[in-house]
């Protein structure tokens, strides 16, 4: 379960990075070329690279999120040995020279 969880988290992080990096690269390249040259000539490769990175990141992100959800569901569905300290507890009323009281042993 833990391996599936960590794999899913890492995969989702890579997906986030590729999505953000792809969008940032496409927008940055386009604005950089427009500011440097004053025309839109040469912006195509940057947009294509950014779009490809984004399209690779989307399945990584969704697949990683799916693995994390499966790992959490597996963890939540595992049987649990419930431990209660009150199962073996002893309650006694005591009276002595010091007074009256309640004694609890776990």
Tokens of 48: 């294509």
Cα–Cα distance, 74 to 1 (Å, whole number): 7
Q: State the DSSP H helix or E strand holding residue 103, giving kind and residue range, or none if neither.
A: strand 99-105
- In this predicted structure, which of 22-31, 41-50, 87-96 has the lowest mean pLDDT? 87-96
Taking the C-alpha atoms of residue 67 and residue 6, their distance in angstroms, rounded to an integer, is 9
pLDDT tens-digit map of 75-86: 888 887 766 666
Mean pLDDT of the chain: 87
Model pLDDT, residue 34: 87
- Summarised one tens digit per residue, pLDDT across range 5-40 is 999 999 999 999 999 999 999 999 888 888 888 887
pLDDT recorded at residue 58:
94
Domain enclosing residue 91, as ranges: 2-105
**Number of compact structural domains in the chain:** 1
CA distances from 55 to 5, 32, 37 (A): 23, 22, 28
Which residue has better confidence, 6 or 103?
6
Between 7 and 42, residue with greater pLDDT? 7
């Amino acid at each position: 379960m833990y391996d599936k969880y960590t794999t899913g988290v890492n995969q989702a992080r890579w997906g986030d990075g590729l999505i953000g990096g792809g969008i940032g690269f496409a927008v940055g390249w386009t604005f950089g070329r427009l500011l440097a040259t004053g025309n839109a000539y040469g912006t195509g490769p940057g947009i294509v690279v950014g779009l490809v990175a984004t399209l690779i990141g989307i399945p990584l992100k969704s697949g990683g999120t799916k693995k994390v959800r499966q790992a959490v569901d597996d963890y939540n569905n595992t049987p649990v040995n419930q431990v209660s300290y009150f199962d073996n507890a002893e309650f006694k009323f005591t009276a002595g020279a010091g007074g009256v009281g309640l004694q609890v042993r776990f």
